[in-house]
Amino acid sequence: MSVRVQCPSCGGPVVFAVGGSMVAVCPYCRSAVARGDRAVEDLGKVAALVDTGAVLRVGIEGKYDGRKFQLTGRTQLAHPAGGVWDEWYAAFADGRWGWLSEAQGRYYLLFEQPPSADRPVLQELEAGAAVELPEAQERFVVAETGTATVNGAEGELPFRLTPGESYRYADLSADGGGFATLAGPAEPPALFLGRQVTLDDLGVRDSARATHELREVAARRASCPNCGGALELRAPDKTERVGCPYCGSLLDASAGDLAVLNALKEPPFALRIPLGATGTLGGKERTVIGAFRRSVTVEGKDYFWTEYLLYHPRDGFEWLINGEGHWTHSAPLPPGAVTEGSHSASVDGRWFRKFQAGQASVRGVIGECYWKVTVGETATTADFIRPPQLLSLERNTYWKSEEINWSLGTYLTPAEVQAAFKLEKPLPVPTGVAPNQPFGYTAVYKSAALLFVALCVLGIVVILSVPSRKVLEQTFQLRGPAAQPLAPDSPPVPATPKVQEFFTDLFELKARRNVRVTVAAPSMTGWLVVEGDLVEQATGQVQPFLVPLEFYTGVEDGETWTEGDKRGAAYVTAQPGGQYSLRLEVDRETLRDEPLTVTVEQGASNGGVWLLTLLGILVVPLVTGVCHLVFVNRRWQNSDFSMMNAAAVGEHAATTRVTKERKRKKGNRREV
């Protein structure tokens, strides 16, 4: 049942439509009116609301987790760094109140938990620290600590609001979208527990969803107060700072009209991608609305890279980072999704190796920025790599506030960036190896492995499906030295020739099957060489082959030893079907009577050929692997940490400082 009261400040009607609300803002004079048991109280005037481009508004209805709610009010809170964000208050049909926070296009629905003494001390929390909450089963990480100041408000609120009041808070993030806020001047602090949500999760009515999905903030045209150059603000509702692309001056946009903060005469750096360029990355359209020149200083020398700010009204902000010609597309990541160690970090079970750490400073700004950036501001940074991915951490400290931001990026080639933004001018060729640049030939490993397995399977199939067939087996008697006559007047017996020639019987060969010729001399000692020809009877065509044999034996220290083999084989490629014979020339070390057996088989597998083929396949991945090692070594020469320590990934890995030459390349930080 609604209650109508009179504003104690202006006398206008103030309606309390929700039974559980404690404060309503007068729509006429902006006084915060608190209702009590007997009278209403004027808590003071709130400031006019700043246009944040909010999609939500007071009066919107929705459904979350099966329960209907209505947004009854909003407060606007100021950050110490100068930004503002909205908090909406949802009155549920079951009497509960929900806190719906909206910032940079992201929404968090939280519910206040019952008071408890078992909570962290708010003043002792630091960004990045792990926090356990008895009310939740999730692991939380402190994403931000700071001081919020109540600036403006509208509608009905479920708590007693004091205009201009400031209080400490800590935002906590968990993996999977869990979110929590600890807030309040008192200890223990109040706890608000919930998760990140979307408009679909909130069940916002169709008209509001259509407004969100189709909403395009009209670009605002303005002039630079320093040089008069025409400016087009593509996200005017979220822009806090503007860098003039003509004179390089840094302008303040928080008060509506642009005001000069730092006047310059020329842009601080050149852009590879112009402001306003629209491109498709990861299947989503993005517009370049700003760019930042950042650097690290090593031994008194500066090393630079450029970060392009990408924006879409529905999806918020992302980054495209360029250094040394390398590119990385990066998107924000909830701090709770990352588990950080001293030398590694993990996201969704994927481990990233720590690559670099340092202090990065802003050296120039062109275009729009969603926070009150200043030239010279610094952030503590760390990069973790799992090529082609780059996991980056930035820690910012403001007056009485601290914040960490994680982002996950993917390496892009200049060709991919040029195609995404349809750039006419070619982008520079990259130099060196970027931290997250992938090796371009890893597909060789998979291809070689598949080919290796395929050949092994093919060999097995051939052996099993085409058994060998013996087509000839014939034994010849090799002659020893001729015996000379005993009678002195008898004519001499002709000497046995050292090379003896034999011809085999005819045999039949089938077409398209290889031929194996096996030679065995079971009584031989020394060496024996068979030079043969496979002769086709119909045409006289000859296929030569060679079978060398060696066999030695002896006794040494009372033990018998042998070396070599009395059996050998040669392979002849498949021949046309028909009648064939073998011509054999046998040369040997020792002439003596001994048998020589020749066997001809068809369909016999040539294991040596298969082995050589398989080894030949392995040559390509082996050479690729050597090149890969050289590539990885070049990457880690740019790192603050040695490759061996990084490979350990564990917490016990020891860091090491790099040499002067390695430090020289540290400008590749976030190269992203």
Q: What is the pLDDT of residues 515-549, one digit of tens each?
A: 999 999 999 999 999 999 999 999 999 999 999 99
Can you give the C-alpha Rg of the chain in angstroms?
42
Q: pLDDT-derived band of residue 672, with 50, 70 and 90 as boundaries?
A: very low
372 and 245, same structural domain?
yes
| pLDDT tens, position by position, 592-643 | 889 999 999 997 766 666 677 777 778 888 888 899 999 999 999 888 886 6
Bigger pLDDT: 258 or 519?
519
Bigger pLDDT: 364 or 253?
364
Single-letter code of the amino acid located at 392: S
27 within some domain? yes
594 within some domain? yes
502 within some domain? yes
The total domain count for the chain is: 3
pLDDT of residue 170: 94
296 and 314, same structural domain?
yes
Q: What CATH number did the domain enclosing 545 receive?
A: 2.60.120.380
Share of the chain above pLDDT 90, in %: 48
Q: What is the pTM of this model?
A: 0.72
Name the token pair of 83.
């930004």
Q: How far apart are CA 585 and CA 594, in angstroms?
A: 15
Q: pLDDT-derived band of residue 193, with 50, 70 and 90 as boundaries?
A: very high
Mean pLDDT is lowest, of 114-123, 198-207, 377-386, 439-448, for 198-207
175 and 258, same structural domain?
no
Of 571, 604, 637, the one marking the end of a domain is 604
159 and 118, same structural domain?
yes
Residues 648/353, Cβ–Cβ less than 8 Å: no
What residues contact residue 167 under an 8 Å CB cut-off, 6+ apart?
147, 148, 183, 184, 185
391 within some domain? yes
473 and 336, same structural domain?
no
Q: pLDDT-derived band of residue 668, with 50, 70 and 90 as boundaries?
A: very low
355 within some domain? yes
Phi then psi dihedrals of residue 455, to 5 deg: -70, -40
| pLDDT tens, position by position, 285-306 | 999 999 999 998 877 888 899 9
Range of the domain at 152: 3-214
Residues 199/314, Cβ–Cβ less than 8 Å: no
524 and 379, same structural domain?
no
DSSP per residue over 586-646, as a string?
Answer: EEESS---EEEEEEEEES---HHHHHHHHHHHHHHHHHHHHHHHHHHHHHHTT-SS-HHHH
Q: How far apart are CA 232 and CA 53, in angstroms?
A: 17
294 and 413, same structural domain?
yes
Residues 116-130 have a mean pLDDT of 89
pLDDT of residue 441: 86
Of 214, 246, 279, the one marking the end of a domain is 214
What residues contact residue 246 under an 8 Å CB cut-off, 6+ apart?
224, 227, 229, 267
623 within some domain? no
Mean pLDDT is lowest, of 11-20, 352-361, 549-558, 604-613, for 604-613
pLDDT of residue 264: 66
Q: How far apart are CA 287 and CA 469, in angstroms?
A: 73
Q: How far apart are CA 146 and CA 183, in angstroms?
A: 10
Name the token pair of 236.
């005017």
Single-letter code of the amino acid located at 448: A
Of 588, 604, 620, the one marking the end of a domain is 604
Residues 378-400 have a mean pLDDT of 91
Residue 217 buriedness (CB in 10 A; 0-12 / 13-18 / 19+) = middle
412 and 556, same structural domain?
no
Quote the DSSP letter at residue 50.
Answer: P
Which residues make beta-bridge pairs with 220?
A: 233
Nearest to 238 by CA among 300, 162, 314, 306: 314
| pLDDT tens, position by position, 406-415 | 999 999 999 9
225 and 208, same structural domain?
no
125 and 254, same structural domain?
no
182 and 275, same structural domain?
no
Angstrom CA distances, 668 to 273, 310, 426, 491, 656, stand at 19, 21, 21, 97, 18
118 and 195, same structural domain?
yes
666 within some domain? no
| pLDDT tens, position by position, 98-120 | 999 987 778 899 999 999 888 88
What residues contact residue 591 under an 8 Å CB cut-off, 6+ apart?
479, 480, 481, 496, 498
Name the token pair of 245.
């692309």
Q: Is a pLDDT exceeding 50 seen at residue 658?
A: no
532 within some domain? yes
Nearest to 386 by CA among 345, 331, 417: 345
Share of the chain above pLDDT 70, in %: 87
